[in-house]
Amino acid sequence: MRALTRSACSYPRNSPQAAGRIIALALISNGEIAPSESAILNRTRARERIGISGREWHDVVDRLCKDLLATAATGSVCRVDRETLARWLTEVDDAQLQRLLVLVTLAIITADGQVDAAESALLGGMLEQWPLPFDQHVALMKLAHRRKANERLEPMLYRSIFAAAPAAPLPF
């Protein structure tokens, strides 16, 4: 697999398109969009919440697919390398938007009852790069447990809890 090059599309910081690419990546990261994943996208109203129109959404998905296909060798799986994912994640630096994208991503990748390696890597990259408060990491663990997420997420989410900065100074 070839890595995405710097020519991959970039979007303005915190734009609906930058956020939309992360959601689209969550949808296609395991190579298919399950009906349950589409249902979650609609139920959460994620597109509306990030302010992306139907036409803009289709343009973002189309651009993401073109970027991924441009790097794939014949017969190989299209994957986003860590450097490219990190660059795309830097396009979203608004903490509230980051939290929304993490929650939507968790809902999407657990919708079909399985979390594969690419889905786990996406969420892991988000949690590594975006510093969420401790209580929100705990909330993610609870949500993953309620959704009966498989063993791929649990260790990563536990690590993210211990890496999170406490919301307030410790009393000692």
Per-position DSSP letters for the chain, written without gaps between them: -PPPPTTS----TT-HHHHHHHHHHHHHTTSS--HHHHHHHHHHTHHHHHT--HHHHHHHHHHHHHHHHHHPPTTPPP---HHHHHHHHHT---HHHHHHHHHHHHHHHHTTS---HHHHHHHHHHHHHS---HHHHHHHHHHHHHTT--TTHHHHHHHHHHHSPPSS----
Any domain includes 170: no
Any domain includes 155: yes
- Contact yes or no for 138/158 (Cβ under 8 A): no
pLDDT at residue 74, as a whole number? 45
* pLDDT greater at residue 160 or residue 146: 146
pLDDT at residue 61, as a whole number? 93
Domain of residue 51, residue span = 16-163
Any domain includes 2: no
Least confident of 10-14, 63-67, 112-116, 165-169: 165-169
Any domain includes 4: no
Alpha-carbon dihedral angle through residues 59, 61, 62, 64, given to the nearest 10 degrees: 120
Residue type, 105: T
Any domain includes 6: no
10 pLDDT higher than 60: yes
Least confident of 26-40, 92-106, 138-152: 138-152
Any domain includes 10: no
2 pLDDT higher than 70: no
CATH number at residue 53: 1.10.3680
24 pLDDT higher than 70: yes
Any domain includes 9: no
- Contact yes or no for 91/13 (Cβ under 8 A): yes
Measured between alpha carbons, how far is 144 from 106 in angstroms, rounded to an integer? 7
Handedness of CA 96, 102, 107, 108 (dihedral sign): positive
Look at the chain and report how many structural domains it folds into: 1
Mean pLDDT of the 154-170 span: 51
22 pLDDT higher than 90: yes
Model confidence band, residue 43 (pLDDT cutoffs 50, 70, 90) = very high
148 pLDDT higher than 90: no
Average pLDDT value over all residues in the chain:
79
